[in-house]
Chain A
Amino acid sequence: MSNYFEDLAHSVIAGQQDRVKQLTQQALDAGTDPVEIINQGLISGMNVVGARFKVGQMFVPEVLMSARAMNGGMELVKPLLVGQELPSAGKVVLGTVKGDLHDIGKNLVGMMLESAGFTVVNLGVDAGPQKFLQAIKEHKPGVIGMSALLTTTMLSMKDTIEVLKEEGLRNKVKVIVGGAPISQDFADEIGADGFAPDAASATDLCKKLLA
């Protein structure tokens, strides 16, 4: 079976969705444990993709193709996971803060997190403290991530953190921040748990915080 898993992982890395679906179906037909398929084939392929992206050996569209291929396999496995949870690296609520319309960077962070096995709830742009608060109550994420590209809107990050404190939720969730004007100093100043300068490091940061 080990060769088979290797083949599956390679197809994920190569972003070949049809091939991934075909191999997954074959394995299922042969009675392979769905969790094994996910962990040893699909996710292990994606882990290589993440590592290669980080060192500049793979590009964003290639990573997203790999993620798409992985999801093609996941869709087939999911219905068979009776009673078992779909393995997830954790749940992250993401949003661009109030007054800010820059969203492509935040979306990239979301896509990279998903590629690494996180479940992402994307609140879109213009997300104020109340929107984050509601999302925390509804989705119970391990991490909330706020993105701001404007010096005028980065202040809203602090407001959100304050609201979480008032609601007694601050200790229940990790808070990370990022975007062009954000720095580690700023993150410390407002009491966030972490700052990431780009999408790849945001993924690492979430892994670290939820470990």
Chain B
Amino acid sequence: MPAKSNYVANATPLFSILSPAQCEEIFLAAEEVLERTGVTVHDEEARDILKKAGCWLDGIRVRIPSAVVNQALNSVPKRVTLCNSRTGSRDVLLEGNNAYFGTGSDTPFTIDPYTGRRRRSTKQSVGWACKVIDALPNLDFVMSLGIVQDVPLLISDRHQFEAQVLNTSKPIVTTAHDIYGFADIIEMCEIIAGGEEELRRNPFMTLYAEPISPLQHAWEAASKLVLAARKGLPVVYTPCVMAGGTVPATMAGVLTNGLAESLSGLVINQATREGSPFIMGGVFTIMDMSSTIFSYGSPEFNLLMSALADMAHYLKLPMFGTAGCSDACVVDEQAGIEAALSIAMTALSGPNLNHDVGYIEYGSTSSLEYLTINNDVIGMARRLVRGIKVNDETLALDLIDKVGPGGHFLAEDHTMKYFKTETYYPELINRQRYDAWKENGSKTLFQRANEKVKDIIENYQPEPLPQDVQKRIRAIVERAEQKVH
């Protein structure tokens, strides 16, 4: 063995949008926004907390000194772990560049896998979605993929959580209408985990809230940040900003404004209780100035996502990203193109908890076929990220010499040992030769996905919750229902 010095290897591909100096510039700009312009906070309790932490109040307008932001960045954990709700297994480690994928939440519409028609989402459609997510190996966590609309709407969040937790054991990122909805959902989770502390130690859910751009924290959002901190449970805080609409049209302006919103949310959370788990979000995109949609598939959406991931790594904050979604109104070529780009870029830049896989129609509709196709895309992207290992064994010089010119590698031990680990085999993507494909019914990718979805709905059994636990969850749903009557 020779001594090999000054050798640099890329264990994975290297990919970044912003340099550390650019990250610093944007971070300092966001701190300046918070000191100079500040934010509005529409919750009295949160304002009191901020005042005690050293912020400057002027009515509901709160300006935040940079030192207070820095303190929050120091106290927030650099990692958050999410667990399997049945086994407690610590599966999802939100730290560094780990990229996990999951679905998005409350779409008003969904494509029915049996009729192909766009319809309002229901408790059943959410249950189906969770079953499918549970069965797909490349999906790591769950958001509902629909808002339940066939129950009393004011407490539909409780039904929605029940539909989710009965049908999947993967971690759940959950929305709720308000803190009362969250309180009930947390109670359900504590029953499942076996107690308050057990849930805190092995959380299988995270709360979800959003500021309102530009620079506003509504009562709903601020109170959720406070509640999460008091409970010691993780919270995702995710600004949904539109370049040219609610934030500047320039990409750097988008990042600065969005980051200022996230950091002020972080301050509310950490000032309530230092050390609370917090996951910085951000769906940063453009408003299409012709149709006025909030775009889920534009190149700027991908660029901003990757840039925000660079920011999150620079600040050492766990991050909630977005990928596998589309502006297309049906699952067509456009949907495929947009998912492939966003999933690949996300996997390469490494935000941690990446949601909205399965959204079409700019976040208004969900499709289980799209989700299932994207399960393959995620697998492909993960293969890209594994990069190329270069060493004596993988260079295979002895083998190349042994086989020599004109031979083949098919029956070699070395091939047997590596062909499966070096290659990714997608499930639904076609690599059949023409005649075999024709013999199998000449099916499109969408048709194959539809068959798989129906097969999962009809035959897959998620790990059930114990009967008594199911009953106690039902009781909470019913209690909420009684209150609205």
Contact call A59/B246, Cβ cutoff below 8 A: no
Query: Within B286-316, which residues are at the interface with A (CB < 8 Å)?
Result: 287, 289-292
| CB neighbours of B291 from chain A (8 A) | 198
Contact call A104/B244, Cβ cutoff below 8 A: no
| CB neighbours of B289 from chain A (8 A) | 59-61
| CB neighbours of B108 from chain A (8 A) | 151, 180-181
Contact call A101/B292, Cβ cutoff below 8 A: no
Q: How far is the CB of B407 from chain A (nearest CB, A)?
A: 60
Assuming the A-B contacts A59-B290, A60-B292, are A152 and B242 also in contact, with contact meaning beta carbons closer than 8 angstroms in the complex? no
- Look across to chain B and name the residue whose beta carbon is closest to the beta carbon of A107: B245
Contact call B153/A155, Cβ cutoff below 8 A: yes
B-contact bits for A178-210, CB 8 A (1 contact / 0 none): 001100000000000000001100000000000
| CB neighbours of B109 from chain A (8 A) | 181
Query: Within A96-110, which residues are at the interface with B (CB < 8 Å)?
Result: 101, 104-105, 108
Say yes or no for A56: interface residue by CB 8 A criterion.
yes
| CB neighbours of A108 from chain B (8 A) | 292
Contact call B147/A151, Cβ cutoff below 8 A: yes
Contact call B244/A61, Cβ cutoff below 8 A: yes
Say yes or no for B75: interface residue by CB 8 A criterion.
no
Given contacts A60-B292, A152-B177, 19 further A-B contacts (CB under 8 A): A56-B290, A59-B290, A60-B244, A60-B287, A60-B289, A61-B244, A101-B212, A101-B218, A104-B245, A104-B246, A108-B292, A151-B147, A151-B156, A155-B153, A180-B364, A181-B108, A181-B109, A198-B291, A199-B292
Task: List, sorted by A's number, 26 A–B pairs whose CB atoms are closer than 8 Å.
Answer: A53-B290, A56-B290, A60-B289, A60-B290, A60-B292, A61-B244, A61-B289, A101-B212, A101-B218, A101-B220, A104-B242, A104-B287, A105-B292, A108-B292, A151-B147, A151-B149, A151-B153, A152-B153, A152-B154, A152-B156, A180-B108, A180-B364, A181-B108, A181-B109, A181-B364, A198-B291
| CB neighbours of B156 from chain A (8 A) | 151-152
Query: Within B123-168, which residues are at the interface with A (CB < 8 Å)?
Result: 147, 149, 153-154, 156
B-contact bits for A48-62, CB 8 A (1 contact / 0 none): 000001001001110
Of A151, A152, A181, A198, which one neighbours B292 at CB under 8 angstroms?
A198
Residues of B participating in the A interface, judged by any CB pair closer than 8 Å: 108-109, 120, 147, 149, 153-154, 156, 177, 212, 218, 220, 242, 244-246, 287, 289-292, 364
Most chain A CB neighbours (cut-off 10 Å) among B108, B147, B153, B287: B108
Per the bound structure, the CA–CA distance linking A56 and B289 in Å amounts to 9
| CB neighbours of A53 from chain B (8 A) | 290
Per the bound structure, the CA–CA distance linking A16 and B206 in Å amounts to 51
How would you classify the secondary structure of chain B's contact residues: helix, strand, loop or mixed? loop
Report the 7 A-B pairs with minimum CB-CB distance, sorted nearest first. Answer: A59-B289, A181-B108, A60-B289, A56-B290, A152-B153, A151-B147, A151-B149
Most chain A CB neighbours (cut-off 10 Å) among B220, B246, B289: B289
B-contact bits for A5-47, CB 8 A (1 contact / 0 none): 0000000000000000000000000000000000000000000
Per the bound structure, the CA–CA distance linking A105 and B362 in Å amounts to 14
- Look across to chain B and name the residue whose beta carbon is closest to the beta carbon of A108: B292
Q: How far is the CB of A195 from chain B (nearest CB, A)?
A: 14
| CB neighbours of A61 from chain B (8 A) | 244, 289
- Look across to chain B and name the residue whose beta carbon is closest to the beta carbon of A152: B153
Per the bound structure, the CA–CA distance linking A48 and B290 in Å amounts to 16
- Look across to chain B and name the residue whose beta carbon is closest to the beta carbon of A186: B120
- Look across to chain B and name the residue whose beta carbon is closest to the beta carbon of A153: B153
Per the bound structure, the CA–CA distance linking A199 and B287 in Å amounts to 13
Most chain B CB neighbours (cut-off 10 Å) among A105, A181, A199: A181
| CB neighbours of A151 from chain B (8 A) | 108, 120, 147, 149, 153, 156
Per the bound structure, the CA–CA distance linking A176 and B369 in Å amounts to 35
Per the bound structure, the CA–CA distance linking A152 and B123 in Å amounts to 15
| CB neighbours of B364 from chain A (8 A) | 180-181
Per the bound structure, the CA–CA distance linking A13 and B291 in Å amounts to 19
- Look across to chain B and name the residue whose beta carbon is closest to the beta carbon of A60: B289
Per the bound structure, the CA–CA distance linking A60 and B242 in Å amounts to 13
Per the bound structure, the CA–CA distance linking A107 and B68 in Å amounts to 34
Query: Within A61-102, which residues are at the interface with B (CB < 8 Å)?
Result: 61, 101
Per the bound structure, the CA–CA distance linking A199 and B242 in Å amounts to 17
Per the bound structure, the CA–CA distance linking A60 and B291 in Å amounts to 9
Q: How far is the CB of B160 from chain A (nearest CB, A)?
A: 11
Per the bound structure, the CA–CA distance linking A101 and B242 in Å amounts to 16
Per the bound structure, the CA–CA distance linking A49 and B292 in Å amounts to 16
Query: Within A148-163, which residues are at the interface with B (CB < 8 Å)?
Result: 151-152, 155
Q: How far is the CB of A62 from chain B (nearest CB, A)?
A: 8
Q: How far is the CB of B15 from chain A (nearest CB, A)?
A: 32
| CB neighbours of B287 from chain A (8 A) | 60, 104
Q: How far is the CB of A68 from chain B (nearest CB, A)?
A: 16
Q: How far is the CB of B363 from chain A (nearest CB, A)?
A: 8
Q: How far is the CB of A105 from chain B (nearest CB, A)?
A: 7
Q: How far is the CB of A81 from chain B (nearest CB, A)?
A: 33
Per the bound structure, the CA–CA distance linking A108 and B242 in Å amounts to 13
Per the bound structure, the CA–CA distance linking A61 and B220 in Å amounts to 31
- Look across to chain A and name the residue whose beta carbon is closest to the beta carbon of B221: A101
Per the bound structure, the CA–CA distance linking A104 and B177 in Å amounts to 20
Per the bound structure, the CA–CA distance linking A198 and B291 in Å amounts to 8
| CB neighbours of B246 from chain A (8 A) | 104
Q: How far is the CB of A106 from chain B (nearest CB, A)?
A: 11
Per the bound structure, the CA–CA distance linking A108 and B153 in Å amounts to 28
Q: How far is the CB of A157 from chain B (nearest CB, A)?
A: 13
Per the bound structure, the CA–CA distance linking A151 and B244 in Å amounts to 27
Q: How far is the CB of A107 from chain B (nearest CB, A)?
A: 9
Per the bound structure, the CA–CA distance linking A105 and B288 in Å amounts to 12
Q: How far is the CB of A99 from chain B (nearest CB, A)?
A: 9
- Look across to chain A and name the residue whose beta carbon is closest to the beta carbon of B363: A180
| CB neighbours of A60 from chain B (8 A) | 244, 287, 289-290, 292
Per the bound structure, the CA–CA distance linking A53 and B292 in Å amounts to 11
Per the bound structure, the CA–CA distance linking A152 and B287 in Å amounts to 24
| CB neighbours of B244 from chain A (8 A) | 60-61
